[in-house]
Amino acid sequence: MASCCSESERVEQVISELSRGRDIADRIRVILRQTGSDGSVQILARQLLDTFNHSLTMLTHAAADSGEVSQAAKSEDSCKPRLPKDRRGCYKRKRSSDTTIKMSSDLCEDGHAWRKYGQKAILNAKYPRSYYRCTHKFDQGCQASKQVQQIQDDPPLYRTTYNGQHTCEKSPLDHHHILPTPPDSSVIWSFNRPVDSVKQEVQIKSPPEDDYMSPFLDLSGDVYSCTASTHSIEDVVGSIEDFFEFQPLS
DNA sequence: TTGATTTGACCCTT
DNA sequence: AAGGGTCAAATCAA
């Protein structure tokens, strides 16, 4: 009879809720690791995360098998030429929250296994942008992805934009430049400034209450800081790029 | 043979 | 409508 929503909508709601639970579990896990909490608690957090991942995997596969998810648009104009698969609704553009940007003078390893899935020429950009997803996207349901783009030639400067957090297993070390996103969804950036061939780690954090504050860079001390809206990441990155461009390398 | 990369096409967001 | 993110077939490499 007339229920509030269709079966497919309910399935998608459950998937959405599970995804949210997984993100929260992952944040708990990161916090526990950062604070050096009891190992058994960390294991429990890990198991909680795995439970969400497995549930999501089973649910999405079952939904796909039964054709329940994302089939709403299938009823009409299904005779489009040269479409091997109906890909409508197959992806959503990433939002700017839960994003980490790293600027570095080289393409250093970040400790994760990535698989390149695309490359695009970007308007007004000299170099193409490469797209990577976590190698464990399918076997562990890890949603982390990154974009890498060279933004400067001499000296070479690369901007790496990380989206999402790793929920896959990796070595416990090597979090030296990917900082955990706090629960308030503020944004943290870190990048290396190539000065005297010595890389300086810079961390930039935007407090959540400064939603409408224009971005600025405080480069006066050893610790650089920057505040900005989570909606103006590009502005901040522009400021960083300006800094690299106009500051003579001493 | 298998997994990774390349590349053109599709389609969502702005 | 344009730009950008993702998919997937083709190709490459180990």
Over residues A87-119, the pLDDT tens digits come to 565 555 554 456 777 777 777 667 788 889 989
Report chain B positions within 7 A of protein CB atoms.
4-14
**Cα dihedral A113, A119, A125, A126 sign:** positive
pLDDT value of position A176: 37
**pLDDT tens digits, one per residue of A173-211:** 333 333 333 333 334 444 444 333 333 333 333 333 333
Q: Which residue is nearest to nucleotide B5 (CA to C1')?
A: A116
Residue A81 has pLDDT above 50, yes or no: no
Is 80 exceeded by the pLDDT of residue A226? Answer: no
Q: Which nucleotides of chain C does any protein CB come within 7 A of?
A: 2-9
Distance between CA atoms of residues A57 and A218, nearest Å: 44
**Residues A207-232: what's their mean pLDDT?**
35
Distance (Å, rounded) from C-alpha A106 to C-alpha A73? 44
pLDDT score, position A77: 34
- A 10 A CB-CB count for A159 gives 21
Domain boundaries, chain A: 7-69, 99-111+146-246
**Is nucleic acid strand C under 7 Å from A84's C-beta?**
yes
* Higher-scoring residue by pLDDT: A62, A21: A21
The rounded mean pLDDT for chain A is 58
Q: What pLDDT digit, counting tens, does each position of A113-156 carry?
A: 888 998 988 888 888 899 998 888 877 778 788 889 888 777 77
- The string of DSSP letters for A57-118 reads HHHHHHHHHHT-SS-GGGSS----TT-SS--TTS--PPPSTTEEEEEESS----SS-EEEEE
Percent of chain A with pLDDT over 70: 32
The span from the CA of A167 to the CA of A187, in Å, is 19
| Strand C contacted by A94 CB (< 7 A) | yes
Please give the nucleotide, over all strands, whose C1' is closest to the CA of residue A163. Answer: C5
- Which of the listed ranges A6-15, A28-37, A99-108, A159-168 does the model predict with the highest average pLDDT? A159-168
* Distant-in-sequence, close-in-space partners of A235: CB < 8 Å, separation ≥ 6: A214, A215, A228
Q: What is the pLDDT of residue A144?
A: 84
